[in-house]
Protein backbone atom coordinates (compact mmCIF):
# COMPACT_ATOMS: atom_id res chain seq x y z
CA UNK A 1 0.00 0.00 0.00
CA UNK A 2 1.32 3.42 -0.92
CA UNK A 3 1.82 6.19 1.59
CA UNK A 4 -1.42 7.79 0.36
CA UNK A 5 -3.48 4.62 0.68
CA UNK A 6 -6.61 4.59 2.82
CA UNK A 7 -5.84 3.32 6.35
CA UNK A 8 -6.80 -0.24 7.18
CA UNK A 9 -9.88 -0.99 9.22
CA UNK A 10 -7.96 -1.41 12.53
CA UNK A 11 -6.14 1.86 11.87
CA UNK A 12 -9.41 3.64 11.13
CA UNK A 13 -10.88 2.23 14.34
CA UNK A 14 -7.90 3.48 16.36
CA UNK A 15 -8.14 6.92 14.79
CA UNK A 16 -11.86 7.03 15.48
CA UNK A 17 -11.23 6.11 19.12
CA UNK A 18 -8.64 8.88 19.44
CA UNK A 19 -10.94 11.44 17.87
CA UNK A 20 -13.80 10.26 20.08
CA UNK A 21 -11.63 10.63 23.14
CA UNK A 22 -10.61 14.10 22.08
CA UNK A 23 -14.24 14.93 21.53
CA UNK A 24 -15.19 13.63 24.94
CA UNK A 25 -12.47 15.67 26.68
CA UNK A 26 -13.51 18.73 24.72
CA UNK A 27 -17.10 18.24 25.78
CA UNK A 28 -16.13 17.58 29.40
CA UNK A 29 -13.93 20.67 29.76
CA UNK A 30 -16.77 23.19 29.94
CA UNK A 31 -18.59 20.98 32.46
CA UNK A 32 -15.48 20.74 34.67
CA UNK A 33 -14.93 24.44 34.35
CA UNK A 34 -18.55 25.09 35.29
CA UNK A 35 -18.34 22.81 38.36
CA UNK A 36 -15.12 24.49 39.50
CA UNK A 37 -16.70 27.92 39.07
CA UNK A 38 -19.72 26.79 41.09
CA UNK A 39 -17.51 25.48 43.89
CA UNK A 40 -15.54 28.73 43.93
CA UNK A 41 -18.77 30.71 44.08
CA UNK A 42 -20.04 28.65 47.01
CA UNK A 43 -16.74 29.08 48.84
CA UNK A 44 -16.85 32.83 48.28
CA UNK A 45 -20.39 33.06 49.66
CA UNK A 46 -19.47 30.89 52.66
CA UNK A 47 -16.40 33.06 53.27
CA UNK A 48 -18.64 36.13 53.36
CA UNK A 49 -20.81 34.66 56.13
CA UNK A 50 -17.74 33.39 57.96
CA UNK A 51 -16.20 36.87 57.99
CA UNK A 52 -19.45 38.27 59.39
CA UNK A 53 -19.46 35.54 62.04
CA UNK A 54 -15.86 36.29 62.96
CA UNK A 55 -16.70 39.96 63.38
CA UNK A 56 -19.68 39.14 65.60
CA UNK A 57 -17.52 36.75 67.63
CA UNK A 58 -14.91 39.42 68.32
CA UNK A 59 -17.73 41.79 69.31
CA UNK A 60 -19.03 39.11 71.71
CA UNK A 61 -22.31 38.80 69.78
CA UNK A 62 -22.19 35.01 69.93
CA UNK A 63 -25.76 34.24 68.83
CA UNK A 64 -25.34 36.41 65.74
CA UNK A 65 -22.03 34.68 65.01
CA UNK A 66 -23.73 31.28 65.18
CA UNK A 67 -26.47 32.47 62.83
CA UNK A 68 -23.87 33.45 60.21
CA UNK A 69 -21.96 30.20 60.65
CA UNK A 70 -25.12 28.20 60.04
CA UNK A 71 -25.65 30.21 56.85
CA UNK A 72 -22.07 29.54 55.76
CA UNK A 73 -22.41 25.80 56.33
CA UNK A 74 -25.74 25.66 54.51
CA UNK A 75 -23.88 27.02 51.49
CA UNK A 76 -20.73 24.92 51.92
CA UNK A 77 -20.97 22.10 54.45
CA UNK A 78 -17.20 21.52 54.32
CA UNK A 79 -16.15 25.12 54.94
CA UNK A 80 -13.29 24.39 57.35
CA UNK A 81 -13.02 27.80 59.02
CA UNK A 82 -16.76 27.90 59.74
CA UNK A 83 -16.66 24.38 61.16
CA UNK A 84 -13.76 25.38 63.41
CA UNK A 85 -15.34 28.58 64.72
CA UNK A 86 -18.73 26.94 65.26
CA UNK A 87 -17.03 24.13 67.19
CA UNK A 88 -15.06 26.67 69.22
CA UNK A 89 -18.27 28.46 70.24
CA UNK A 90 -19.96 25.19 71.16
CA UNK A 91 -16.89 24.19 73.17
CA UNK A 92 -17.22 27.43 75.13
CA UNK A 93 -20.83 26.50 75.88
CA UNK A 94 -19.72 23.03 77.06
CA UNK A 95 -21.56 21.29 74.21
CA UNK A 96 -18.59 19.03 73.67
CA UNK A 97 -20.15 16.26 71.56
CA UNK A 98 -21.43 18.76 68.99
CA UNK A 99 -18.15 20.67 69.08
CA UNK A 100 -16.14 17.52 68.40
CA UNK A 101 -18.22 16.79 65.29
CA UNK A 102 -17.46 20.23 63.87
CA UNK A 103 -13.74 19.87 64.58
CA UNK A 104 -13.66 16.45 62.92
CA UNK A 105 -15.36 17.84 59.82
CA UNK A 106 -12.95 20.79 59.76
CA UNK A 107 -10.09 18.28 59.68
CA UNK A 108 -11.78 16.25 56.94
CA UNK A 109 -11.97 19.37 54.82
CA UNK A 110 -8.48 20.55 55.72
CA UNK A 111 -6.20 17.81 57.12
CA UNK A 112 -3.42 20.28 57.99
CA UNK A 113 -5.74 22.43 60.14
CA UNK A 114 -3.53 22.09 63.22
CA UNK A 115 -5.55 24.38 65.49
CA UNK A 116 -8.63 22.23 64.83
CA UNK A 117 -6.69 19.07 65.68
CA UNK A 118 -5.44 20.58 68.94
CA UNK A 119 -8.86 21.69 70.14
CA UNK A 120 -10.38 18.37 69.06
CA UNK A 121 -7.89 16.73 71.43
CA UNK A 122 -8.94 19.15 74.18
CA UNK A 123 -12.59 18.33 73.48
CA UNK A 124 -11.92 14.61 73.83
CA UNK A 125 -10.36 15.35 77.23
CA UNK A 126 -13.56 17.10 78.33
CA UNK A 127 -15.52 14.07 77.08
CA UNK A 128 -13.17 11.82 79.12
CA UNK A 129 -12.08 10.09 75.91
CA UNK A 130 -8.45 10.18 76.90
CA UNK A 131 -7.15 7.57 74.46
CA UNK A 132 -8.78 9.44 71.58
CA UNK A 133 -7.25 12.68 72.87
CA UNK A 134 -3.77 11.17 72.96
CA UNK A 135 -4.13 9.64 69.49
CA UNK A 136 -5.33 13.00 68.13
CA UNK A 137 -2.63 15.11 69.77
CA UNK A 138 0.49 12.98 69.37
CA UNK A 139 0.85 13.76 65.63
CA UNK A 140 0.91 17.48 66.45
CA UNK A 141 4.00 17.34 68.65
CA UNK A 142 5.82 15.60 65.77
CA UNK A 143 4.58 18.03 63.12
CA UNK A 144 7.36 20.52 62.24
CA UNK A 145 4.92 22.95 60.60
CA UNK A 146 2.81 23.33 63.75
CA UNK A 147 3.95 26.61 65.23
CA UNK A 148 2.54 26.28 68.78
CA UNK A 149 3.43 22.72 69.86
CA UNK A 150 3.39 23.71 73.53
CA UNK A 151 -0.42 23.72 73.34
CA UNK A 152 -0.41 20.11 72.13
CA UNK A 153 2.15 19.09 74.78
CA UNK A 154 0.00 20.73 77.44
CA UNK A 155 -3.17 18.97 76.30
CA UNK A 156 -1.32 15.66 76.08
CA UNK A 157 -0.18 16.22 79.65
CA UNK A 158 -3.75 16.88 80.74
CA UNK A 159 -4.96 13.67 79.09
CA UNK A 160 -2.30 11.65 80.91
CA UNK A 161 -2.96 13.49 84.17
CA UNK A 162 -6.67 12.66 83.98
CA UNK A 163 -5.69 9.01 83.42
CA UNK A 164 -3.51 9.12 86.53
CA UNK A 165 -0.24 8.70 84.62
CA UNK A 166 1.78 11.33 86.48
CA UNK A 167 5.08 10.44 84.82
CA UNK A 168 3.82 10.97 81.27
CA UNK A 169 1.83 14.02 82.36
CA UNK A 170 4.96 15.59 83.86
CA UNK A 171 7.03 14.77 80.78
CA UNK A 172 4.59 16.54 78.49
CA UNK A 173 4.14 19.58 80.75
CA UNK A 174 7.92 19.93 80.96
CA UNK A 175 8.13 19.85 77.18
CA UNK A 176 5.42 22.53 77.00
CA UNK A 177 7.44 24.95 79.16
CA UNK A 178 10.68 23.95 77.47
CA UNK A 179 9.24 24.98 74.11
CA UNK A 180 7.65 28.11 75.60
CA UNK A 181 9.11 29.13 78.99
CA UNK A 182 6.49 31.91 79.26
CA UNK A 183 3.60 29.43 79.12
CA UNK A 184 2.03 29.93 82.54
CA UNK A 185 -0.50 27.11 82.14
CA UNK A 186 2.32 24.63 81.67
CA UNK A 187 3.99 25.80 84.89
CA UNK A 188 0.63 25.58 86.70
CA UNK A 189 0.09 22.04 85.46
CA UNK A 190 3.54 21.00 86.62
CA UNK A 191 2.41 22.32 90.01
CA UNK A 192 -0.67 20.10 89.85
CA UNK A 193 1.52 17.06 89.14
CA UNK A 194 3.75 17.98 92.10
CA UNK A 195 0.67 18.35 94.33
CA UNK A 196 -0.54 14.90 93.26
CA UNK A 197 2.90 13.54 94.14
CA UNK A 198 2.79 15.34 97.52
CA UNK A 199 5.86 17.31 96.53
CA UNK A 200 4.48 20.48 98.07
CA UNK A 201 7.74 22.43 97.85
CA UNK A 202 7.90 21.67 94.14
CA UNK A 203 4.25 22.61 93.75
CA UNK A 204 4.91 26.00 95.36
CA UNK A 205 7.85 26.57 93.02
CA UNK A 206 5.83 25.78 89.89
CA UNK A 207 2.72 27.68 91.01
CA UNK A 208 4.83 30.71 91.90
CA UNK A 209 6.41 30.62 88.44
CA UNK A 210 2.95 30.42 86.88
CA UNK A 211 1.59 33.33 88.94
CA UNK A 212 4.66 35.44 88.13
CA UNK A 213 4.25 34.72 84.41
CA UNK A 214 0.52 35.57 84.40
CA UNK A 215 0.00 37.87 87.40
CA UNK A 216 -3.51 38.96 86.37
CA UNK A 217 -4.90 35.41 86.30
CA UNK A 218 -6.70 35.04 89.63
CA UNK A 219 -6.99 31.25 89.60
CA UNK A 220 -3.21 30.90 89.56
CA UNK A 221 -3.02 32.82 92.86
CA UNK A 222 -5.71 30.54 94.29
CA UNK A 223 -3.76 27.44 93.31
CA UNK A 224 -0.51 28.97 94.55
CA UNK A 225 -2.23 29.62 97.87
CA UNK A 226 -3.38 26.00 98.04
CA UNK A 227 0.18 24.80 97.38
CA UNK A 228 1.56 27.15 100.05
CA UNK A 229 -1.09 25.92 102.49
CA UNK A 230 -0.13 22.31 101.76
CA UNK A 231 3.52 23.27 102.35
CA UNK A 232 2.46 24.79 105.70
CA UNK A 233 3.42 28.33 104.68
CA UNK A 234 0.21 29.82 106.00
CA UNK A 235 1.05 33.51 105.98
CA UNK A 236 2.20 33.36 102.36
CA UNK A 237 -0.91 31.35 101.48
CA UNK A 238 -3.05 34.07 103.02
CA UNK A 239 -1.36 36.70 100.84
CA UNK A 240 -1.94 34.57 97.74
CA UNK A 241 -5.64 34.15 98.54
CA UNK A 242 -5.94 37.87 99.19
CA UNK A 243 -4.36 38.65 95.82
CA UNK A 244 -6.76 36.23 94.14
CA UNK A 245 -9.75 37.85 95.85
CA UNK A 246 -8.63 41.30 94.72
CA UNK A 247 -8.30 40.16 91.11
CA UNK A 248 -11.44 38.04 90.92
CA UNK A 249 -13.87 40.38 92.66
CA UNK A 250 -17.37 38.94 93.09
CA UNK A 251 -16.83 36.00 90.78
CA UNK A 252 -17.01 32.39 91.96
CA UNK A 253 -13.21 32.26 92.17
CA UNK A 254 -13.16 35.51 94.14
CA UNK A 255 -15.62 34.04 96.66
CA UNK A 256 -13.53 30.89 96.96
CA UNK A 257 -10.42 32.94 97.66
CA UNK A 258 -12.11 35.12 100.28
CA UNK A 259 -13.40 31.98 102.00
CA UNK A 260 -9.83 30.72 102.30
CA UNK A 261 -8.55 33.86 104.03
CA UNK A 262 -7.84 33.41 107.72
CA UNK A 263 -9.50 36.75 108.43
CA UNK A 264 -12.71 35.38 106.85
CA UNK A 265 -12.72 32.67 109.51
CA UNK A 266 -12.59 35.20 112.34
CA UNK A 267 -8.82 35.17 112.57
CA UNK A 268 -8.81 31.65 114.00
CA UNK A 269 -6.10 30.51 111.63
CA UNK A 270 -5.86 27.32 109.57
CA UNK A 271 -6.91 23.94 110.83
CA UNK A 272 -3.34 22.68 110.78
CA UNK A 273 -4.24 19.18 111.92
CA UNK A 274 -6.50 18.76 108.90
CA UNK A 275 -3.50 19.28 106.64
CA UNK A 276 -1.47 16.40 108.03
CA UNK A 277 -1.18 13.51 105.61
Residue pair 130/158 in contact by the 8 Å Cβ criterion: no
Question: What burial letters (b/e) apply to 149-161, b meaning 16+ CB within 10 Å?
Answer: bbbbbbbbbbbbb
pLDDT for residue 270: 41
Q: Which of 193, 182, 185 is nearest to 160 (CA)?
A: 193
pLDDT for residue 223: 97
Q: What is the largest CA-CA distance in the chain?
A: 119
What DSSP state is assigned to residue 7?
Answer: P
Question: Mean pLDDT throughout 140-147?
Answer: 95
pTM of the full predicted structure? 0.80
For the CA atoms of 84, 87, 91, 96, what is the dihedral angle to 10 degrees?
-130
* CATH fourth-level superfamily of 44-109: Tetratricopeptide repeat domain (1.25.40.10)
Residue pair 84/115 in contact by the 8 Å Cβ criterion: yes
For the CA atoms of 217, 91, 226, 241, what is the dihedral angle to 10 degrees?
40
Q: Cα–Cα distance between 79 and 90 in angstroms, integer? A: 17
Higher-confidence residue: 5 or 243? 243
Catalogue the E-assigned strands of the chain: none
pLDDT for residue 42: 84
Q: Is residue 271's pLDDT more than 80?
A: no
pLDDT for residue 31: 53
Question: Mean pLDDT throughout 178-184?
Answer: 97
User: Which of 75-89, 197-211, 251-265 shows the lowest per-residue confidence on average (mean pLDDT)?
Assistant: 251-265
Q: Which of 221, 220, 228, 216 is nearest to 242 (CA)?
A: 221
How do residues 94-130 score in pLDDT, each as one tens digit?
Answer: 999 999 999 999 999 999 999 999 999 999 999 999 9
Q: Where are the domains of the chain?
A: 44-109
Say how many residues make up the chain. 277
Q: Cα–Cα distance between 26 and 23 in angstroms, integer? A: 5
Q: Which of 92, 22, 33 is nearest to 57 (CA)?
A: 92
Question: What burial letters (b/e) apply to 62-101, b meaning 16+ CB within 10 Å?
Answer: eeebbebbebbbebbeebbbbbbbbbbbbbeeeebeebbb
Query: Mind giving me the DSSP string for 82-110?
Result: HHHHHHHHHHHTT-HHHHHHHHHHHHHH-
Q: Cα–Cα distance between 79 and 63 in angstroms, integer? A: 19
How do residues 38-67 score in pLDDT, each as one tens digit?
Answer: 778 888 899 999 999 999 999 999 999 999
pLDDT for residue 153: 98
Amino acid sequence: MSARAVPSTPARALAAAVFAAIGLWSAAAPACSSAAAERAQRAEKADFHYRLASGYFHSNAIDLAIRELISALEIDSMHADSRYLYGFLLFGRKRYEEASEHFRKALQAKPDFYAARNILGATYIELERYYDAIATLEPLVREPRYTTPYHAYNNLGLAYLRQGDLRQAGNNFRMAVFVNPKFCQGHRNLGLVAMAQRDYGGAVEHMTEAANRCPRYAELHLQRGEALEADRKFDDADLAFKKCAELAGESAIGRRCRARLRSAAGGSGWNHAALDP
